[in-house]
Amino acid sequence: MSEQRFGEWVAVRRHDHVAELVLDRPKAMNAVSTEMGRRLGEATRALADDPSVRVVVLTSTHERAFCVGADLKERNSFTDADLGRQRPHARAAYTGVLELPMPTIAAVHGFALGGGFELALSCDVIVADGTAVVGLPEVSVGVIPGGGGTQLLPRRVGAARAAELIFTARRVPAAEARELGLVDQLVAEGEDRTEALALAARMAANSPVGLRAAKRALRLGHGLDLRAGLEVEDAAWRTVAFSGDRAEGVAAFNEKRTPQWPGE
C-alpha cells in the first residue's frame, strides 16, 4: 500500500485499483477547515485524473467520528469577507467528491454531521457501522446545508423526509439511519472501513470503462423522464460498446478466464 499526502490532513492510499481517500485531522474530528477543504479539492482532482483508479473509498482515521462538518471554531473568527473567500474552497471539497467519475463508497462510523454527512451523501454508497450518527444540523447554528445536503438528501429519502430531518436538525442513530435509507449498509462496530474496502475491491474487479459509464448513466439519468433517461443510458452504452474493455470482456467470457481490462 502506497500513500500520498495532500497537506497535513488528507491522504490517498492505494490498494491496487482502489484508492482510499482518508480524512486525517483527528484532533478536530475531521472538521473541514479552509485548508482541509482546499486539500480535499486537490486530492479529488488528482483522483479524477488517474485512469488507474477504479473505485474510491472515503474513510476517517478518527475513532469516534467520520467528519463533524465545517470547522466552526475557525469560522467563529471570520468576517463576512472571510466567509465569502472560503466558500469556493468549501464547494470544491464537496463537489470534488460528488463529481468523481468512478464509483465512490463512504465508510462511516461515529459522527457524520453537517458537511461530514454531505461528504458521505456525495458518495454512491454509504457503509456505516453501529456507532454512526448522521444528520444535517446546520439550521441550529443559523445556516443551511451548503455542501449539497438540500439536494442530495431528498434524492435519497424523498422531499418530505428530507425536510423533516433538515428542519429539525436532529441526529439520527445508525439503526434508524439504515431504516430511513440514509445509509445503505449497516455493519458490525469497527468494520465500516474493512467492509467498504471489500465492496470496493469487488467493484474494481469489473471493467473500469464500464464502471465510469454506468455511474455517468445513473447520475445524469436520475430525475429525468423515462424517455430522456434512456437516451442518457444509450449515450453511456456507446462509450463502452466500442471500447477495448468490451472486446476483452467478451473474449474472457468465451475463453473462461479472468478479464485483463485495458481500461480504454
Catalytic residues: 70, 115, 118, 138
Q: How far apart are CA 67 and CA 70, in angstroms?
A: 9
Q: Kindly state the greatest CA–CA separation across the chain.
A: 65
Residues forming a β-bridge with 111: 65, 133
CB within 8 Å of 213: residues ≥ 6 apart: 236, 237, 239, 240
Q: What is the grid cell recorded at 234?
A: 444509450
Report the candidate in 178, 148, 177 with the shortest Cα–Cα distance to residue 165: 177
Segment (H or E) for 88: helix 80-98
Pairing of strands 18-23, 10-15: antiparallel
Report the candidate in 172, 152, 171 with the shortest Cα–Cα distance to residue 162: 152
Phi, psi of 81 (to 5 degrees): -65, -40
- The sheet carrying 172-173 orders its strands as 65-67, 111-113, 133-135, 172-173
Q: How far apart are CA 163 and CA 195, in angstroms?
A: 31
Q: How far apart are CA 12 and CA 210, in angstroms?
A: 23
Q: How far apart are CA 228 and CA 244, in angstroms?
A: 27
